Structure 1
């Protein structure tokens, strides 16, 4: 009986420890919404984390049939060695459409929701198994996604990085969308694996950016990109071709 009791006690401890490794998206959302700093290491986040619905959400644009809303993450967020099982949403668009499978027309009605980050943002050595939507997001402080794996499309279109940004050793399994993104300070894409289309069309690199040792398995699009300081492409592999047409600035390739 004593051995059996010890077994169940140990099983209970193991079960509790395992449960503590899993955190709901709602728990994280509520903490951010209350202005609490978020810091997780080695946990699995379950459920869709939608940061476009914070209580500080404001309507910033309104026109006939269209509204735009902005939420702001006002606290530092840090996720290291974490897995996001579902979608991470800092951008979404609800457009009113009419029609059936064979015919559809946009009625011009819709709502766009975006999210800005006022403090530092860390997603290091994480895994995004679902979508990662950061379209139109402003990152006011340093943003680090170093070592992170993006299982589905990574959407940073029109994102504005106002401080240093780090994507070193990232793995983009699907479309990496940095079209029209703005990097005000140094940007690091060292040894990144782009397995699908990498879109940096119209991207603006105000200071140094490195793609040294990176690998582009599909097309690399830098058309119209601005390299105002320098772009390092030493030992970079372009397996699907590269388009630098109309790009400006200093670019170093070896």
Structure 2
């Protein structure tokens, strides 16, 4: 009986430990690491609070248009917020927004520049993920990530290869006007809402093999200067390739088009799409 009681007490002690889950890190602690010049490296932790990279101390004014528009009380100041250390998150959960861009209505605009490699591998973004206008001067790794809200990468500048393979986008995935100077990997990605790559440019290979587009796939005016792989993919709504330009013949082998398609004015190697159907 005594032994049985000890087992019960031990089990009751262990239950709270099991329920605690992963360790928690406050978002502001990460900004402190960056300000102190220390690498950011976390695995299997939960980030609590809004992680705002525009809050770093290292910033400089890059443009001030207030002087010209001052008499109208308009214009803005644009700041560059510089993150000079490697940033690495593996299998982490971000409970709140992750922000690397800020605009307070034509006053101050804050854009983040990452000088070293940035990794968000296997992470879950429970809030917004805003990387609009961000500059990644080295590699950017977002493989196997999931986004519950909007994933905003509009006007983002990448310098190295970009990996979003096996990622899941529950909200809009906005890559409008993005320039991919190296390989862009989106194979096995799932887009539950609109996947917006309008006006994007891919200088080398674009890999969308086995990708699933549940909302509109918007590749209008997109330019592919390398190989473009869509084989094995699924388009459940509008597959919009209007005005898209392919420098090489794209691969649509075993691709499912369950919704409507628009290849009007699409060009492949300088010729209209109908020559390659």
Name the TM tier (shorter chain): 0.7 to 0.9
1:148-193: CA deviation from partner (whole Å, max 9, x where unpaired):
0011000000111110110000000010000001111111000000
- Do structure 1's residue 94 and structure 2's residue 104 form an aligned pair? yes
Distance (whole Å) between structure 2 residues aligned to residue 115 and residue 11 of structure 1: 45
Task: Give secondary structure in 1 for the equivalent of 2:198.
Answer: coil
Distance (whole Å) between structure 1 residues aligned to residue 217 and residue 171 of structure 2: 13
Structure in which a larger fraction of residues adopt strand: 1
TM-score by length of 1: 0.87
- Please name the residue that 2:117 is paired with: 120
- Do structure 1's residue 253 and structure 2's residue 252 form an aligned pair? yes
C-alpha change, 1:89 and 1:214, in structure 2 (3 Å) is: same
Distance (whole Å) between structure 1 residues aligned to residue 20 and residue 42 of structure 2: 15
Q: Which moved more, 1:136-145 or 1:191-200?
A: 136-145
Distance (whole Å) between structure 2 residues aligned to residue 230 and residue 67 of structure 1: 40
Please state how far the C-alpha of 1:11 moved relative to its aligned partner: 5.3
- Do structure 1's residue 71 and structure 2's residue 81 form an aligned pair? yes
- Do structure 1's residue 233 and structure 2's residue 230 form an aligned pair? yes
Please state how far the C-alpha of 1:112 moved relative to its aligned partner: 1.2
* Max Rg structure: 2
Distance (whole Å) between structure 1 residues aligned to residue 220 and residue 82 of structure 2: 32
Distance (whole Å) between structure 1 residues aligned to residue 187 and residue 37 of structure 2: 33
Please state how far the C-alpha of 1:20 moved relative to its aligned partner: 7.2
TM-score by length of 2: 0.80
Segments of structure 1 that go 5 or more residues without pairing to the other structure are: 96-108
- Please name the residue that 2:136 is paired with: 139
* Superposed counterparts of 1:168-207, under 5 Å: 168-207=165-204
- Please name the residue that 1:99 is paired with: none
- Please name the residue that 1:50 is paired with: 52
- Please name the residue that 2:92 is paired with: 82
Task: Give secondary structure in 2 for the equivalent of 1:229.
Answer: coil
1:88-113: CA deviation from partner (whole Å, max 9, x where unpaired):
01001101xxxxxxxxxxxxx42211
Please state how far the C-alpha of 1:19 moved relative to its aligned partner: 8.7
Distance (whole Å) between structure 2 residues aligned to residue 112 and residue 197 of structure 1: 27
Does structure 1 retain, via aligned residues, the 8 Å contact 2:62–2:79?
Answer: yes
Distance (whole Å) between structure 2 residues aligned to residue 171 and residue 164 of structure 1: 19
Instruction: Give the number of the structure with larger relative contact order, counting CA–CA contacts within 8 Å between residues 6 or more apart.
Output: 1
Please state how far the C-alpha of 1:18 moved relative to its aligned partner: 4.7
Please state how far the C-alpha of 1:252 moved relative to its aligned partner: 1.7
Distance (whole Å) between structure 1 residues aligned to residue 61 and residue 178 of structure 2: 23
Task: Give secondary structure in 2 for the equivalent of 1:201.
Answer: coil
Distance (whole Å) between structure 1 residues aligned to residue 118 and residue 125 of structure 2: 15
RMSD of aligned residue pairs (Cα, Å): 2.2
- Please name the residue that 1:28 is paired with: 30
Structure 1 outlier segments of 4+, above 2 Å: 17-20
